[in-house]
Every structure is written in structure tokens, then in C-alpha cells.
Amino acid sequence: MGKSASVRKNEIALKTALISEGTKEFGAILAAGYGSAPVPIVILGPSGSGRTTLARLIHGASGRTGEFISVSCAAYPGKELERELFGPGKTPPGRARAPGALALADGGTLFLDEIGAISLEAQARLVKAIQSGVVCPRCGKGKNTGCALISTTRHDPQNLVEFGKLNPDFLRCLSGLGVRLKPLREAKTEIMPLIARFATGKRPPVFSKEARNFLLSYDWPGNLRELKRFVEIISGSKNPGKTITMETAQNQIRWHFY
């Protein structure tokens, strides 16, 4: 059965969306129709582009009662990631087996950040768990994996498959809906409105013409994360309301990392 026209329309609208914190409409649109029978979602975009924010919005708008369990795949080398996902292997007699992320996300959402960092062995285990619906498919036991799946990658998934970094079966398990988040350099018209939004609760910064032009021409390699950090620093100035010069803006970006 094909997708409804409304779902297709939502996909097209969201594939190139720039997501900023507080924009709940994006998550609500994506979550519509995915709450009870969630479709796996892959979020494509560079670091700092709002991928985790979007994933949390989708989970919050989905109405799922379980927790949002986030796993930063690049943070766990080798077998450590498998233990994080599936729980430890053998446990001492009399001690309860600690649940892994798949079990903890039952009824909620499992968020896999940077799927390209998952080993092929761990990918194969995840495929079996997803297809069988059992956390421990090797032994046929364990809690059912009743979780929604949201994953991210900064790379083209098909390139990861071609370079042998991604199991095509694993990608198929994850790819119900794809959403691409634009880097900030492709959304220059959003920069000044985002600065005003990030300054909520504080006096919006005032920029000289030269400073404004600089901010609009800067590439923002750290994307939304870098822009938000910049606004926090500028808004915390000892001279609120003072016009910010290009030199000041350049110095704040140069010396404060994202």
C-alpha cells in the first residue's frame, strides 16, 4: 500500500528543513501517524544542525509513553557499544542482568546517533533484534524490542554502504523516512531570526552593518550549536544594548569553540 498524499507532502516539506530549538511543528508533523506504529526515521545532517533536537521533538510529539534513550555510537569503541545496546553478556550468579538500550527504550524511542560508527558485527545483531523483535536474538530470549527507531548520520548512507561501513540490511531496517537538515551555511536568511530566538529572555544583540554582513557571510561550521553558543556569549556582555562591531563578532567566534 502506498503512502498517503499528506505523508508524502510532509516528507517533501521536511527533507530540507532547518530545525531550530523550540520549533515544535516539525516534530509534530513527523510524529503524526507514527505514534502507535512508528516508522523508522533517519536524520541526515552535519554535527550541530539540530539532529538530536529534532529526534526529541518527534518522540515528544508521538505520544509514546516510554523513554527517549539516546546512544552516541561513536563514544563506545568495539564491544563496548554492543554492551551498551544489548546489555552485558554473562553476569555473576544471583545478580540481575542489567538491561541494554534496546530494552530500556521499550515503549519509547531508541535514538542511534551516527550509525556509521557502529561495527558491522553490532549492525548484524541489531538487524536480528529488529527483525525478530527480541533483544537477545542469539539465545531467543529477552524483552521484546517495542521501540521506535530514530538514527542519524552526517554521511550519505549509500556511500557508507559502498565503502563497507554500513550493512545494507541494517540500512533497510532504519530507513522508513529520511529527513535532511541543512547546514547553516545553506540557510543564511535564517541566521538573524535565529539569533533573536536564541536571545529569548535577554535583550536581543544589536549589530553594526559590517558585523551583520560578517555573520551572514560566515560559514558557521558548527551550525546551530555554534550560533547558539555565539549568542550566549554576546548576550552575556557587560554592556547590553551596545552595538556589536565586526571586530567584536569576529573575536568572539575566533576564541570560543562550539
Q: In what order do the strands lie in the sheet with 68-72?
A: 68-72, 109-113, 148-153, 41-44, 177-180
Q: Quote the strand ranges of 145-240, DSSP E.
A: 148-153, 177-180
Q: Which residue has the higher pLDDT, 165 or 2?
A: 165
Strand partners, 141: 136
Residue 133 CB neighbours (<10 A) = 12
Range 29-51 average pLDDT: 77
Query: Per-residue pLDDT for 208 more than 60?
Result: yes
List, for residues 60-114, the tens digit of each pLDDT value: 888 888 999 999 999 999 899 999 999 886 655 555 567 899 989 999 999 999 9
Q: Which residue has the higher pLDDT, 101 or 134?
A: 101
* Of 186, 203, 194, 201, residue with least CA distance to 240: 203
pLDDT at 25: 55
pLDDT category of residue 24 using cuts at 50, 70 and 90: low
pLDDT category of residue 180 using cuts at 50, 70 and 90: confident
Fold that domain 188-255 belongs to in CATH: Helicase, Ruva Protein; domain 3 (1.10.8)
pLDDT at 54: 86
Domain spans of the chain?
5-180, 188-255
The bridge status of strand 134-136 relative to strand 148-153 is unpaired
Query: Per-residue pLDDT for 19 more than 60?
Result: no
Please give the single-letter amino acid code of residue 66: G
CATH class held by domain 5-180: alpha beta
How far, in Å, CA of 248 to CA of 250, rounded? 5
By three-state DSSP, how is residue 177 classified?
strand
Question: Could you tell me the CA-to-CA distances from 109 to 13, 35, 57 in Å, in that order?
Answer: 23, 10, 11
The residues, ordered by sequence, that sit 6+ positions from 168 with a Cβ below 8 Å of its Cβ are 161
Residue 170 contacts residue 123 (beta carbons within 8 Å): yes
